[in-house]
A and B are shown apart, each in its own frame.
Chain A
Amino acid sequence: MKSDGTSTHSGKLLGEAFLSHDKAGRPQLVGALCEACRTAFFPPAEVCPSCASEEVVDEPFPLTGTIYTLSTVHVAASVWDVPYTIGYVDLPNGARVFSHFKGDVGIGTEVELSRAVVGKDLEGAKIESFVFVPVEA
């Protein structure tokens, strides 16, 4: 158990349970939608954090969004490849998603989902994650 709060991952894909593909094969996040109050949220949960309803269903999320804010981290636990860039993507369905970013990004950049290596665990196995990258022009 590391003092910085990360558990030891082993060759894993962060957020694997929430990753899918759309009909065209493009990577897509699967979030949640509350059928009672129509709040879309990520990561998914069994209960709605807005109204506490349990009428929550899986919801494929929009493929692209806009970066609200971000920061490039230079000092972190050894599992992460530093420097790394993290922040929030605002999706058109009203959900804000916390994510790693790769590529030339800033506030306001339109981004789409991809995958990338973000670190390695204590055994040296790679840690991958879903990441957002600038939409190809």
Chain B
Amino acid sequence: MAKAAIVGVGMTPFGKFPDKTLADIGWPSVKAAIADAGIDPKKIEACYCGTGLGGMMAGQRVLGRIGLTGIPITNIENACSSSSTALQQAVMAIRAGKYEAVLVIGVEKLSKFGGGTLPLEKEDWEVQNGMVMPALYAMRANRYMHEYGLTHEQLARVSVKNRKNGASNPDAQMRKEVSVEEVLSSRMIAEPFTLLQCCPIGDGAAALVVCSEKLARSLRTDPVFVAASDLTSGKFTSGFRDMTTPEITVRGAKEAYEEAGLGPRDIDVAEVHDAFSIAELLYYEAFGFCERGEAGALIDAGETDIGGRIPVNPSGGLLAKGHPIGATGAAQAVEITRQLRGQCGVRQVENAKTGLIHATGGGIAGFDHGACSIHILTI
């Protein structure tokens, strides 16, 4: 089976661009990825475009701006895992030998909804009865605090760490550091989450050029290889589910590690789905970076700082970089690719050779989450 590699990355800095169309938010990241790859655009044979709420024909709208049309375009909606799924589909096609070079795009414009929490599926029973995403995650936090004694300060430390990382990331939406006090005294959204413990609503795009090993090595001396490409969805249950462990990520992580022949100790750097402060802590455990119940201790010890044992979210994560949901997966791949190439400057994780990216989303009743896509990248 052919190996897939990422040879080009590009990103539209995340922010709020209500006056730009989705297509105009998207195309600069595509041009940047193609230039980064040094590939002739005509060699791109297909495109996989992820967007959660961008509307129909998102890929065509973006590529229409730059004349990259007439190739097969697959538009993908998988909530917050949309562009991770797009990457997974691209990798599958390259591995199958169907294409030599494809484009992956993640693009989103959430500012079109004005303010407030993310619009969820109206036909969902819980949504109709008042469920909002911050509350769903807050419930996980409350149960976890109840069972493991996690403190508000430990939750706030996730925001502090990621805002510090984001301050060094020119592509991040939030560029100012914050303190534990500022995090805990910001506006209450859904107890225990204050505003600074919730990822911001925003817009943005990211793009990747993914190709076969043979083509990759002809384009770059440092292609980033895909060691694992995993997609799974949540298991619906109407009964009692342990909300202190994200079952979908636990399953996806196991599958990804098995595919790559690697384990938690082999990961040098990770970009995980920190939509809310508790999320990153739950994912430390789901990925085996620490034991169950130990996530608070891990962050307290600074182990997930850029200089720590297992740096998590050097880009600033969703909390600081932002979370235009369909763009997030591709943006995580951009960050890890740059980390593995040694291009991250002040944010650089030393000697990063193996990285992990993880996006999971879709708040619907009965599921931990709807979708989860994990990739392990190596150089």
Question: By the criterion CB–CB under 8 Å, are A96 and B132 in contact?
Answer: no
B125 interface residue (CB < 8 Å to A)? yes
Q: Which of A21-65 contact B (CB under 8 A)?
A: 39-43, 49-50
Question: By the criterion CB–CB under 8 Å, are B190 and A73 in contact?
Answer: yes
- Which bucket holds chain B's interface residue count? 35 or more
Question: By the criterion CB–CB under 8 Å, are B127 and A80 in contact?
Answer: no
Q: How far is the CB of B150 from chain A (nearest CB, A)?
A: 13
Residues of B within 8 A of A118 (CB): 130
Question: By the criterion CB–CB under 8 Å, are B129 and A74 in contact?
Answer: no
Count of chain A to chain B residue pairs whose CB atoms are closer than 8 Å in the complex: 111
Question: By the criterion CB–CB under 8 Å, are A39 and B238 in contact?
Answer: yes
Residues of A within 8 A of B122 (CB): 1, 5-7
Overall SS of chain B's interface: loop
Stretch at the interface among B109-117, B154-162, B283-291: B109-117
A86 to B134, CA, bound (A): 12
Question: By the criterion CB–CB under 8 Å, are A3 and B119 in contact?
Answer: yes
Known: A39-B239, A94-B240, A95-B238. A71 touches B120 (CB 8 A): no
Residues of B within 8 A of A90 (CB): 240
Residues of B within 8 A of A3 (CB): 113-114, 116, 119
A124 interface residue (CB < 8 Å to B)? no
Question: By the criterion CB–CB under 8 Å, are B125 and A43 in contact?
Answer: yes
Question: By the criterion CB–CB under 8 Å, are B129 and A100 in contact?
Answer: yes
Residues of B within 8 A of A84 (CB): 130
Question: Which of A3, A41, A71 has its CB near the most chain B CB atoms (within 10 A)?
Answer: A71
B366 interface residue (CB < 8 Å to A)? yes
Question: Which of B125, B143, B366 touches A69 (beta carbons < 8 Å)?
Answer: B143
Known: A3-B113, A3-B114, A7-B122. A94 touches B239 (CB 8 A): yes
Residues of A within 8 A of B146 (CB): 69, 107-108
A125 interface residue (CB < 8 Å to B)? no
Q: Which B residues are closer than 8 A to A by beta carbons? A: 113-114, 116-117, 119-122, 125-132, 134-135, 138-143, 146, 187-192, 236-241, 243, 365-366
Q: Which A residues are closer than 8 A to B by beta carbons? A: 1, 3-7, 14-15, 39-43, 49-50, 68-77, 80, 84, 86-88, 90, 94-96, 98-100, 107-108, 118-119, 129
Closest 6 CB pairs of A and B: A41-B238, A71-B138, A69-B143, A69-B139, A3-B113, A72-B191
Q: List 12 A-B contacts (CB under 8 A).
A: A5-B122, A6-B128, A7-B122, A70-B139, A76-B130, A86-B130, A86-B131, A88-B139, A96-B240, A98-B131, A99-B129, A129-B129
Contacts A3-B116, A96-B241 aside, 6 further interface pairs with beta carbons under 8 A come to A14-B128, A49-B238, A96-B239, A96-B240, A98-B126, A98-B131
